[in-house]
Amino acid sequence: MNSGQDFAAILNSFHKLESGSIEGGAALATLTRSWGPTFRRPGAAMLILSDGSVVSELAGGCPQRDIINRGLEVIDAGSARVVRYNRETGLDVLIETGCGGELEVFIEPLHTLSDLAHVPAINDSLRSRRRVTLATLFMSEYTVMARPQREVFVDGEPGWSGIVDPTLRAILRSRIDSMPSEVSSRTDRLCAAERSFDVLFQRIDPLHRLIVAGANATSAALAGAAASLGWQVCIVDSNPERLARIEVPDEVDRMCAPPQLAYTRVMPDRFSSLVAMTHNLEQDLEYLAAFATSPLAYVGVVGSRKRVQRVHSAALLPAECLHAPAGLDLGSETPPEIALSIAAEILAVLNHRDGGRLRDVRGPIHGDLAAISPAA
């Protein structure tokens, strides 16, 4: 799990498990390490229910079927296990099917409320739009723990503890403080009290929030594309008639408000983005001015080169912080194409990528080298 989007569906199922509305328990399968080209980065997770159904698929193909089967075994046995897919173990499903990578998966049973004791702290933090870092100890002295131990950090500070040893908690916090900002998850092997532990660190951010200024065909298309990515989307316009005319998914909010009032109502944060696309230069500048002091993850403006020059000349934001014209160079012309271009650029910025062609990428496609750590 590397984002609020990934975590939301699993979190909802956790609530059902807590209420007892899911019969037979479940198992959580989490990718802890990977080597070479694999389908997901460490931290990605899949919830396996006792009937064999899953929440948040890991891959759809490759070893997923085998992971599900082993998850069902874990549910029955009631204790966790680590499964490695590589040549040494003989579980070379990835290699046989052409992915070419190797991976390690931690599968834990979820039977009682104690297995989910850390979930309320995560849920409350994400609702208040704070970053969570989850530390999961799943191996001790090279042996899989029957039940993992966890520590929840909220914006870098202790938020919930399932670990008794204060020395170990201090080591975990220091590791979190040293994680590069662009790394969302990694697995480390650390020593405390003369024992070794394997720990998975996962950063979980609130759902990304996209504020689209201007109600028109292109902004409606962008809102739909963003909603399909699991983002929270709000279209803002000062004209109620324009807002009423656009067609957007039900989950997209519409807000009729001038720029400064919109800022006050939305209260954007570092997990938010703004795209100004009112088709009116003065209005776009008003939105940029209203949101200029907020720590937005992305700020974009739609328009021609000439129009964008006037936006830059207003100097409301440093040039390197402003994406104008917004979007990737895809040759887009129609509203859906422009929307795809802008959504893709936002996603690239959020993932610290430049939006280039995958065929030109040298190195891992998913994540970066710092996030992919082999066992020591």
Structure tokens at 259: 């720029």
pLDDT confidence of residue 91: 59
Cβ–Cβ < 8 Å for 348, 354: yes
> Domain check: are 96 and 132 in the same one?
yes
pTM of the model as a whole: 0.86
Q: Tell me, what CATH number does 255's domain have?
A: 3.40.50.720
pLDDT in tens, the chain (376 residues): 445 666 778 888 888 887 776 678 899 999 999 877 677 788 899 999 999 999 988 765 558 889 999 999 999 999 999 999 877 665 555 554 445 678 899 999 998 889 999 999 999 999 999 999 999 999 999 999 999 999 999 999 999 999 999 999 999 999 999 998 878 899 999 998 789 999 999 999 999 999 999 999 999 999 999 999 999 999 999 999 999 999 999 999 999 999 999 999 999 999 999 999 999 999 999 999 999 999 999 999 998 888 888 998 887 888 888 999 999 999 999 999 999 999 999 999 998 888 988 888 776 665 544 443 333 3
Give the whole-angstrom CA distance, residue 4 versus residue 295: 18
Report yes or no on 30 lying in a domain: yes
Q: Is residue 280 one of the residues assigned to a domain?
A: yes
The predicted structure's pLDDT at residue 92: 55
Which of 204, 219, 238 terminates a domain? The answer is 204
Reported in sequence order, the residue ranges of 172-229 that DSSP labels E, i.e. its strands, are: 185-192, 195-204, 209-213
Asked whether the beta carbons of 220 and 235 are under 8 A apart, the reply is yes
Residue-level pLDDT at 375: 39
Give dist(CA 239, CA 254) in Å, integer. Answer: 11
Residue 30: phi, psi to the nearest 5?
-125, 130
d(C-alpha 225, C-alpha 210), whole Å:
11
Residue that terminates a domain, selected from 204, 234, 256: 204
Q: Do 286 and 312 share a domain, yes or no?
A: yes
Answer yes or no: are the C-beta atoms of 124 and 117 closer than 8 Å: no
What is the pLDDT at residue 62? 59
| Residues 249 and 196 reside in one and the same domain | no
Same structural domain for residues 231 and 142?
no
User: What local confidence, expressed as pLDDT, does residue 148 receive?
Assistant: 96
Same structural domain, 191 and 223: no
Q: What is the pLDDT of residue 109?
A: 96
Residue 365 is assigned to a structural domain of this protein: no
Give me the pLDDT at residue 60, please.
Answer: 54
192/265 same-domain check: no
Q: Quick check: is 361 in a domain?
A: no
Q: Based on the fold, state whether residues 189 and 313 are members of the same structural domain.
A: no
Q: Within this chain, do residues 113 and 82 fall inside the same structural domain, yes or no? A: yes
226 and 197 co-located in one domain: no
- 175 and 48 assigned to the same domain: yes
Q: Is residue 73 part of a domain?
A: yes
Residues 6+ apart with CB under 8 A from 210: 222, 223, 226, 231, 232, 233, 234, 272, 273, 274, 275, 346
Total residue length of the chain: 376
Q: What is the pLDDT of residue 46?
A: 93
Domain boundary (204, 225, 260) is at: 204
Structure tokens at 62: 């490759």
pLDDT of 192 reads: 84
> How many structural domains are present in the chain?
2
Residues 200 and 213 in one domain: no
Residue 375 lies in a domain: no
* Same domain (yes/no): 197, 223: no
Predicted confidence at residue 366, as pLDDT, reads 58
In a domain, 306, yes or no: yes
Domain hosting 274: range is: 209-350
Is residue 24 in a domain?
Answer: yes
